[in-house]
Structure 1
């Protein structure tokens, strides 16, 4: 099993590599400081990708189709912004807890935890979400979609309740990580 760790934080990458190698000596683990170096190394050959959240967002077009075998490395904050079936690893967990979390990805006897239960966004809510990420205010969204201001406010309320994300930056991160918008089009 070949594993790629793409993380500019050298210490985190080294620590993660050590923990992974303790889970199984059969893992072949390669670390990359940036996506460019990783892309030069036959990126499709890896079984698992452990990726910094920044790299995931910037190169979403590569990782989104490989979501099932991509683990996003988060720093304990914003963990709920990457829901929607993404595998998340909080790299600030104590060593013992992180080892237990990591083993879930590789053990047939320990299934992956079910993804965070969330209601699906409607097509209109996705349209509103995309316009929010592009910086439109409620009135502009209403004008653009030919709906009332009250309806826009209701959609925003439903989106934040369904996702559990209240900030525009969190909603933007969610939209990018789930393929609703591309990072370079915001």
Structure 2
């Protein structure tokens, strides 16, 4: 296993539509293992492949129920086919430096995907679990959570980011 570099905004790979996965092999399993190590090291609760520079439709979602447990769900080619209710809650992102904001999401969703071996998955998710899935599926579509903010908040964040990147240079 290896830690991967987490790509940060405004890198163009974060805006790419991830490609559907058709081959379920050892290379995919290695990518998932490396992504899990990277996600928990960050620390994060979800990670999409394009966040580590791989524009393929695979995302990890933390399912841990106790502290320090590392239990995650792998979603390959995930599709959210239905959403109910709305809830506004705080979000952040490993790929969006120093930004947290309230984002409106569905409270309950229906998900279809494949697991790491290509077997079909179909389930409903609610609350925090649903929020993480929606966030990661957005990544696979080239959408960041800041795209769901008002234009004023987005503009303020971009201004803040320019300062951060200038200080890092």
Higher strand share: 2
Q: Which has the higher contact order (CA 8 A, sep 6+)?
A: 2
TM over 0.5: no
TM-score for the superposition, normalised by structure 2: 0.22
Higher helix share: 1
